[in-house]
Amino acid sequence: MTSPKSDHIPFQVVLASASPRRLELLRQIGIEPGEIIAPDIDETVLTRELPRQHALRLASEKLACIQREAFVIAADTVVAAGTRILPKPARLLKPKNI
């Protein structure tokens, strides 16, 4: 008895990130995104937002920005000390107005 042949539905992989490290990690596991889109979202930490909530919210907002019929990979990295979210290194290097 033969099983019915299923049609292969191709899909494009979209990386919703400008992170070179995230792209490198995907390539290490054999995933080459067909498109890389860096959504412009506000990454300000909300009042009383915990690190996990913050990362999930940012990833969800990045995903919502991608208007494609595709498999979208959206993520965010948060560094924290306990419940305190630490600033990203790029933000630490920005010049301050005196």
Q: What positions carry a catalytic annotation? A: 76
| CA dihedral over 15, 18, 20, 22, signed as positive or negative | negative
How many angstroms separate the Cα of 44 from the Cα of each of 7, 10, 33, 41, 60?
Answer: 44, 36, 27, 9, 14
